[in-house]
Chain A
């Protein structure tokens, strides 16, 4: 499409991790750990170098013209469908590439320490490399199918990594659950692809973007009065909801924490789960054509943000809290892109990557210290015992709570303010923006509360761990702390690339928004007053949340927390049980499906088809076989009797004149014409036909002709009898038929 597309070896970016994975799978088992780590880190590091080089030195020159493109080969081309195995880097995918390779590299380093004692060390790094490669394919994919390759690839890696410690059944179950839930989303994604192809005739993002203009077929009504763009957006969003853990498909993410913690940080916080947000941003051109689809995205996002935050209030597992926090933050991102504020959604994705990765790695570090346990009820007072981790966690905590200057503040504020300010929904859906905004504000309050609860319960006050565990508590090795510090810097200062420079009269200060403009359109223009108002409001809410949490949990479980739990035991339990959504799914979908399939197997497959249909035919043949044998009684005279009877029957039937099985009768008025000849055959020679129309025993018409006409005096029921005689043999055949003249007349 774009004449100035520039070729660049983008393929190296995903290829290096893939190669790393392949090498590790094939040879890693025999290598030393250092060698494994070197290969893995080199693969992702090399990939990062290429990505940085591409993004900073090559991309700016061509960003306006659609970015860099690298076609490996034609993947599938047949009929009117043509898909290249091609990669494209524009500002959006470039940014994601940077995040993935950079954080991925950090997590590789971190894992070196974290997985030190694991016997499956090479396998872990192979998976990690495989994941990075798939994720890079996902973001760099030039067309929807290529993206789908990465999309499924990361799902696979997620499956493998969640179930990394496969020998424990719950882990394996969690992996399977993640994969299958993701597949439900993929189903939606696939339908979205089909719809897109049907509407636009292409699957390349750049072509879709240029095709998606207001008057195109995308805005034409397609089904149920909604436009193509709406259905594409909705189905794609199902895919996004699956991958990014939105209502109703979020259930897999909390379980996914069964995987090693670095995996949770990389896959289930920083990168893979944001793929849905990325995809919506990627398809922004289609989404903006359908405010209704955007409204669904925004509302689901906002609802998820709040719902997950509430569940986060009562979780007692460190990583579970972070998991629900991730779900909630993803909701923010969707709310951002769903209000057509794509840059802010991506901005939050970017800041979230840092602070959530940081939080998870802190969690890993602390669980490392706590001998693997993640129960926050047994923690407390870790501030002094693990000072570096505490410091990093502090920064990240403030960032996620939205305390000013920290990264989360800017990105969250951009989303909230955008929700109130957006004009995308027009008049019909004008309520969506404010609703989303209010939900997000509540969610922000909740975020501040549960994150603070986590912080206070873990780090403040005296430790609640038992003596043995306490004895082991120690700060993590430098290989783990180093990446933590880097992430903390990112979490603390990363927001500065997206400061709302417009407030200060310097829009160019918003580096991120400026960069992304080429890829997802200009940032939403928010009035300065609104911007300032919501900055203030969210700051206040963050502080309220923190304060409230301090009242409840500062230095351990305080009296108000216990009182609250005592006052609403049912509600607290319900929240702790995550509103029992998993159980609901189990009871409503999964178990019935299995039972249904089992019943189908037993009834339809075994009984109906195999026994009744097939077995029935076989049994019938068998019975006929037995019957045929029964004639053969062994007595020669019976044989001869059969012979004689057969001969007699043969002679008898061979000398009967043949008549048709039914008479052909044509009626007009009260006149009937009857044809007694056999269908399609000439009348046999020499036969006499006697037609008795009035059933009085005396034929009215007699002759050699096989047809006759007769007119009745009156309507009513009549019986026609035809007797066919062969004069040579004096053999006869008879046939009769009843006719109802009046009815026949009426029918005519």
Chain B
């Protein structure tokens, strides 16, 4: 078995192991959870070592037959796009489990929590790595269940409502995606006479315009809900507020990325015509989300809700970057996904710690905490600033690349006025400072006048907590100062993706009503040189909507 299969299955093995330990041994459960995730992280470092940045295609592939007669293969592979998302997952997991607050205030059923988190990790890693659409779908659904339990069992007051909302929102989209996958499968069979769910094979399929649009909408709905794109975002604040800290961290840090990752990996390359037609809508929603999320965050009094809405805003940037389909912006979008994982994960860890100390998340209940817990305050400040997008920390690089890439996208390529969109989006740098600093100030600055804040229980971070925040801060700093290693490894894959998209678009646009057929040259033929990202797609009129 290849390393990819290992890191997918390791967490599952850990979960099984945890099941075997008696319920009372909570320390052992935590130990197994932490140990498994750390081992997984170390294993994922091997991927990093084996990864060849000069290749654009998939590497380290694992391909095992699952259901032979249907052409379902347990096919995993990694490229520059998924590489870092997997690393993010394997990094955030041990950090989260290290945090004593991960399980939240309902400190019960540690064993189940560890099992759920490990199953979640397996689902997430698998979904990032899956190269078979069916396997992707299975993992996609698989991560839903543990997260549902995490919210529902260890969540807050309204956890039932939040968990069911989360599931229903996500399922509607994902089941329609399943229908679209099945449709692709049938069309692929019609075009070639063979059955396959293989990503590489299916992504060569060029559909006529109308089915493309429907498939794009089906996939897009699943992804847009996950991101979440305005106006599908209302599950997010609820889910985040109710989820325990660990759940929030993973939900915001990794799971939201599946939406954007899905767009990048599936929706765009497979349905170029539909992408072209829908780009104005999607980007408009993204930009609305950027501003809207920021404004919503601005008026929240609940720290977790505020951070949740900030995710809506930040993920809007990612969508914007992806939809430009320019090298710089897409790279920025990938980077922003990682940065958001680190910074927002850190924010949730921080808010979780505050809740642990104070049993409230209302900003008005805090004030002057710096005096009481200076080390944590400093750590939290760094994370807040990373989220604000301060240069030198992780948040800046992604936002900068997205905005500069969007700004310089050729007008009319995918949407009419990229400059305007970039300018509107850039206003979020102001709004981000407004809401995050307001939050920070309300918590840590001002007089320490609330007696509850003077309670001796409000301790500064110590022990494991220091390591948790230390890891997050180091990651944020390193990613802010030296992003190039990350960018360099995704460079080729992104370039291939974009040039492949352009070629596919040209192929599909040449006759939008042609029956489903295979695009002659799969992504392997994509020019590996850092192709001028925006060349070639200018002036090609999109098909009119039906």
Contacts and interface: CB of A to CB of B under 8 A. Distances in A.
A610 B295 CA distance: 17
A625 B222 CA distance: 25
Contacts of B483: 75-76
Interface in B468-520: 481-484, 487-488, 491, 494-495
B430 A183 contact: yes
Given A172-B445, A176-B438, A594-B299, A80 B533 contact: yes
B331 A191 contact: no
B438 to A, nearest CB: 7
Contact of B401 (A78, A173, A605): A78
Interface stretch (B62-70, B142-150, B385-393): B385-393
A152 B434 contact: no
B445 A166 contact: yes
Contact of B481 (A85, A156, A610): A85
A152 B404 contact: no
Contacts of A193: 404
B403 A190 contact: yes
A85 B327 CA distance: 20
Identify the interface centre among A153, A168, A179, A605: most chain B CB within 10 Å of its CB: A605
B433 A183 contact: yes
A531 interface: no
Contacts of B371: 167
A81 B397 CA distance: 12
A614 B234 contact: yes
Interface in A591-611: 593-594, 596-598, 600-601, 604-605, 609-610
Given A76-B397, A190-B403, A609-B231, A167 B447 contact: yes
Interface stretch (B26-34, B128-136, B419-427): B419-427
A78 B487 contact: yes
Nearest to A597: B295
B370 A166 contact: yes
Contacts of B292: 600, 604-605
B296 interface: yes
A597 B445 contact: no
A180 B422 contact: no
B377 to A, nearest CB: 9
B326 interface: yes
A187 B429 contact: yes
A184 interface: yes
Nearest to A613: B231
A171 B447 CA distance: 11
Nearest to B234: A610
Contact of A73 (B300, B482, B491): B482
Identify the interface centre among B327, B370, B391, B530: most chain A CB within 10 Å of its CB: B391
Contacts of B378: 25
Contacts of B390: 152-153, 156
Contacts of B396: 149, 152
A198 interface: yes
Contact of B296 (A76, A169, A601): A601
A173 B371 CA distance: 17
Interface in B429-447: 429-430, 433-434, 437-438, 441, 444-447
Nearest to A159: B437
Identify the interface centre among A81, A85, A168, A609: most chain B CB within 10 Å of its CB: A81
B407 interface: yes
B195 interface: no
Contact of B331 (A73, A79, A172, A190): A79
Interface in A126-176: 145, 148-149, 151-153, 156, 159, 163, 166-169, 171-173, 175-176
Interface in A185-218: 186-187, 190-191, 193-195, 197-198
B537 interface: no
Given A76-B483, A79-B331, A179-B433, A597 B444 contact: no
A76 B334 CA distance: 13
Contacts of A168: 446-447
Interface residues of B, number: 60
A80 B299 contact: no
B391 A167 contact: no
B407 A172 contact: no
A77 B487 contact: yes
Contacts of A593: 295, 298
The SS class assigned to the A binding surface is helix
Nearest to B477: A22
A2 interface: no
A73 B484 contact: yes
A357 to B, nearest CB: 26
Given A148-B391, A605-B296, A172 B404 contact: no
B114 interface: no
B391 A179 contact: no
B467 to A, nearest CB: 14
Nearest to A18: B392
A601 B299 contact: yes
B153 interface: no
Nearest to B490: A78
B389 to A, nearest CB: 9
A597 B296 contact: yes
Contacts of B331: 78-79
Interface in A402-416: none
A632 interface: no
B392 A149 contact: yes
Contact of A194 (B332, B422, B433): B422
A173 B367 CA distance: 13
A197 B404 contact: yes
A637 interface: no
A74 interface: yes
B400 interface: yes
B246 interface: no
Contacts of A194: 403-404, 407-408, 422
A186 B431 CA distance: 12
B10 to A, nearest CB: 32
B448 interface: yes
B445 A163 contact: yes
A77 B296 contact: no
A297 B407 CA distance: 25
Contacts of A149: 391-392, 396
A405 to B, nearest CB: 43
Contact of B441 (A80, A145, A176, A186): A176
Identify the interface centre among A78, A176, A600: most chain B CB within 10 Å of its CB: A78
Nearest to B230: A609
A167 B445 contact: yes
B194 to A, nearest CB: 28
B298 A197 contact: no
Contacts of B412: none
Contacts of A190: 400, 403, 426, 429
Contacts of A169: 445-447
A275 B459 CA distance: 40
A386 B409 CA distance: 63
Contacts of A151: 391
27 contacts: A73-B482, A75-B481, A76-B484, A78-B331, A79-B331, A80-B533, A148-B391, A156-B385, A163-B445, A169-B445, A171-B445, A173-B441, A176-B438, A179-B437, A180-B437, A186-B429, A186-B430, A187-B427, A187-B429, A190-B429, A194-B422, A593-B295, A596-B295, A597-B295, A597-B299, A609-B234, A610-B234
Given A76-B400, A190-B400, A601-B299, 19 more contacts: A25-B378, A76-B401, A77-B484, A77-B487, A78-B487, A149-B391, A152-B396, A153-B391, A163-B441, A175-B441, A176-B437, A176-B438, A176-B441, A183-B434, A190-B429, A594-B298, A594-B299, A596-B295, A597-B298
Interface of A: 25, 29, 73-81, 85, 123, 145, 148-149, 151-153, 156, 159, 163, 166-169, 171-173, 175-176, 179-180, 183-184, 186-187, 190-191, 193-195, 197-198, 593-594, 596-598, 600-601, 604-605, 609-610, 613-614
Chain A to chain B: the 5 pairs with minimum beta-carbon distance, closest first: A79-B327, A172-B445, A149-B391, A194-B407, A597-B295
